[in-house]
């Protein structure tokens, strides 16, 4: 179940093997300390108490306190270091997931809801981490506890031990039945969480349109409808878990009754001491929490398996636009662009957007392309920085097919500004440089002057003013001017502009 699903993600724990060893040793130490307490109690009852040796009671009580303190220390180490290791694993996994999302082609993002990707990047990765740090540890703890306690029980009375095992056999049946039912619920629940995230994200980004058209009640109705679906699935999951936990909680009580009756009979017959019976019952009590934990671990395991499957759906997607094995770097670029017999249609579509297109743009030449809506102007702009690949023909930069160039190298020579000016929740300066190497103040000023974006100097903190998500603290025209300034910054040899001034007033 969850253990098999984790096969792909457990290697993320390899860098933290030292921490894993520490909490593994601490886990065994805490179990050894817990298992020794009933033996000490048995010794006290059958020794000092039975023989009225009051002088040995205090030292034995001190031994119990010492063992309890050791168990406390081991539990602290286990929880602390397992939490540290799992959180570091979660961070590495989330970083790789984000990097993979960035490497995937634009067409992949066209076909995925942003809310589904968000829920995978946040909720599903957190679910995997929770199972590693808690569920997996408790699974191992439960297994080892059963083995150790069973061995100790056999040492006290093998018949009673077999009785306890017989009382636990229904666990396999209940667990299998739970697995088949809950895995469907877990998948539906996490998919619905992604759908709800999508609705919230769409509301947040489209709040102006929603308010302008007075569609708040409609969006509220959509949200509440999806919320009811999520609530119904959650309640179904709660009911399924409650049924399992109720049955599992009954088994230790059943075994306790059997042990009390048969053990009491053995004490009367002289086959077992009172201390041995107390120790045996203490071991039965030690199984009570693992029995409770089985239901919890099983539910976490199913959720982890579902989360892993959802993550794999993204991680198994291979980038269709990537560097070829023999791709070369474009050290210098004169800016010559050629479309040679280009044809293009979008993925999962049979309609040709461009067909048999031939166009050459010489260095220093400016070409404007006009046409009706949907004629492929924006698509043409996407092909130069290789946001999409042509279906036929070639796009060449300085006589080299763009597919034979390293993507990073190609895109460093191209400046782009699209009609929709995407700005990030950062400062004006950060939006302009976009992580480029150090840019001089003169270059920044020149780019701002070219785009006529001098309004930035009047902002409260100048270039360090944060523009908010999507740049909505600025007007549409101001956003487009900043996007244009970003495109021309550094004087790229190739400048691709797709109606970047549609919201700018003509002066």
Model confidence, pTM:
0.80
Give the separation between CA 301 and CA 142, rounded to whole angstroms. 14
The answer to whether the beta carbons of residues 482 and 454 sit under 8 Å apart is no
| Structural domain contains residue 459 | yes
What does the alpha-carbon distance between residue 257 and residue 268 come to, in Å, rounded to a whole number? 17
The residues, ordered by sequence, that sit 6+ positions from 256 with a Cβ below 8 Å of its Cβ are 281, 284, 285
Output the six-digit token pair for 387.
């946001």
pLDDT at 338: 94
Give the phi and the psi of residue 359 in degrees, each rounded to 5: -155, 135
Query: Which DSSP string corresponds to 139-203?
Result: HHHHHHHHHHHHHHHHHH-HHHHHHHHHHHTHHHHHHHHHHHHHHHHHHHHHHHHHHHHHHHHHH
Domain contains 215: no
370 in the same domain as 256:
no
Structural domain contains residue 311: yes
Query: Are residue 254 and residue 372 in the same domain, yes or no?
Result: no
Which two three-digit tokens encode residue 95? 């970083």
Q: How far apart are CA 379 and CA 157, in angstroms?
A: 79
Closest CA to 392 of 361, 351, 354: 354
CA quadruple 436, 438, 443, 447: dihedral sign? positive
**The domain that contains 289 carries what CATH number?**
1.20.1560.10
Residue that terminates a domain, selected from 258, 281, 315 = 315
Domain finish residue from 259, 282, 315: 315
The Cα-based distances of 309 to 100, 247, 254, 319, 466 in angstroms read 16, 29, 38, 19, 38
Q: Give me the domain span that covers residue 86.
A: 2-185+240-315
The reported pLDDT for the residue numbered 438 is: 64
Residue 112 lies in a domain: yes
pLDDT of residue 232: 93
> Do both 29 and 169 map to the same domain?
yes
- Same domain membership, residue 341 and residue 302: no
Q: What is the pLDDT of residue 374?
A: 83
Q: Which pLDDT score, from 0 to 100, does residue 5 have? A: 65
Same domain, 174 and 307: yes
- Position 139 scores a pLDDT of 79
Residue 218 resides in a domain: no
Domain assignment present for 369 = yes
Instruction: Give the strand pairing for 354-361 and 337-344.
Output: antiparallel
Q: Are residues 348 and 426 in the same domain?
A: yes
d(CA 112, CA 314): 10
Same domain? For 143 and 256 the reply is yes
Question: In this structure, are 257 and 398 located in the same domain?
Answer: no
Residue written as tokens 């409260």? 460
| 235 domain residue, yes or no | no
How is residue 466 annotated by DSSP? Answer: B
What are the 10-residue block averages of pLDDT along the chain, 507 residues in total? 68 88 87 82 77 75 86 88 89 93 89 88 90 79 82 83 82 80 87 88 79 83 91 91 81 78 81 80 77 77 87 91 90 92 89 92 91 88 92 94 92 88 87 78 89 90 85 84 89 88 65
What pLDDT does residue 207 have? 78
Partners of 405 in the beta sheet? Answer: 328
N-to-C CA span, the chain: 66
**Within 13 A of 442's CA, how many CA atoms are on the CB side?**
1
Q: What's the burial of 103, exposed, middle or buried (CB within 10 Å: 0-12/13-18/19+)? A: middle
How many domains does one find in the chain?
2
Q: What is the pLDDT of residue 4?
A: 62
């Amino acid at each position: 179940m969850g253990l098999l699903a984790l096969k792909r993600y457990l290697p993320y724990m390899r860098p933290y093997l030292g921490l894993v060893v520490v909490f593994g040793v601490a886990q065994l130490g805490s179990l050894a300390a817990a298992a020794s307490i009933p033996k000490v109690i048995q010794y006290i009852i059958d020794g000092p108490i039975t023989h009225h040796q009051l002088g040995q009671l205090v030292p034995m009580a001190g031994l119990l306190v010492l063992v309890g303190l050791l168990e406390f220390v081991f539990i602290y180490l286990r929880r602390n270091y397992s939490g540290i290791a799992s959180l570091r694993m979660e961070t590495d996994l989330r970083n790789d997931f984000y990097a993979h999302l960035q490497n995937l082609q634009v067409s992949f993002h066209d076909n995925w809801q942003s809310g589904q990707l968000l829920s995978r990047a946040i909720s599903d990765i957190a679910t995997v981490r929770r199972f590693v740090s808690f569920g997996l540890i408790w699974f191992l703890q439960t297994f080892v506890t059963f083995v150790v306690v069973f061995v100790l029980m056999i040492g006290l009375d093998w018949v009673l031990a077999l009785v306890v095992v017989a009382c636990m056999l229904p666990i396999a049946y209940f667990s299998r039945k739970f697995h088949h039912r809950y895995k469907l619920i877990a998948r539906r629940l996490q998919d619905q969480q992604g759908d709800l995230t999508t609705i919230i994200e769409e509301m947040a980004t489209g709040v102006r349109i929603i308010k302008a058209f007075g569609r708040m009640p409609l969006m509220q109705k959509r949200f509440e409808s999806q919320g009811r679906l999520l609530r119904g699935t959650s309640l179904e999951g709660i009911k399924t878990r409650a049924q399992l936990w109720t049955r599992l909680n009954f088994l230790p009580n059943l075994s306790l009754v059997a042990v009390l009756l048969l053990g009491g009979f053995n004490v009367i017959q002289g086959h077992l001491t009172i201390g041995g019976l107390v120790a045996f019952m203490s071991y039965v009590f030690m199984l009570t929490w693992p029995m409770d934990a089985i239901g919890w671990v099983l539910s976490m395991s199913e959720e982890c398996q579902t989360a892993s499957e959802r993550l794999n759906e993204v991680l198994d997607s291979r980038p269709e636009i990537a560097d070829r094995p023999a791709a070369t770097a474009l050290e210098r670029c004169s800016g010559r662009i050629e479309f040679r017999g280009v044809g293009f249609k979008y993925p999962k579509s049979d309609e040709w957007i461009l067909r048999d297109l031939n166009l050459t743009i010489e260095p220093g030449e400016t070409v404007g392309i006009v046409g009706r809506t949907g004629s492929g102007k924006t698509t043409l702009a996407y092909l130069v920085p290789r946001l999409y690949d042509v279906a036929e023909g070639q796009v060449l930069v300085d006589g080299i097919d763009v597919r034979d160039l390293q993507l990073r190298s190609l895109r460093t020579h191209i400046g782009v500004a699209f009609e929709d000016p995407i700005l990030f929740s950062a400062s004006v300066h950060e939006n302009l440089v976009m992580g480029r190497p150090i840019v001089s103040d003169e270059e920044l000023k020149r780019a701002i002057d070219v785009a006529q974006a001098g309004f930035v100097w009047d902002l409260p903190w100048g270039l360090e003013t944060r523009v908010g998500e999507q740049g909505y603290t600025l007007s549409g025209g101001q956003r487009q001017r900043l996007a244009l300034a970003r495109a021309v910054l550094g004087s790229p040899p190739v400048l691709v502009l797709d109606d970047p001034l549609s919201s700018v007033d003509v002066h």
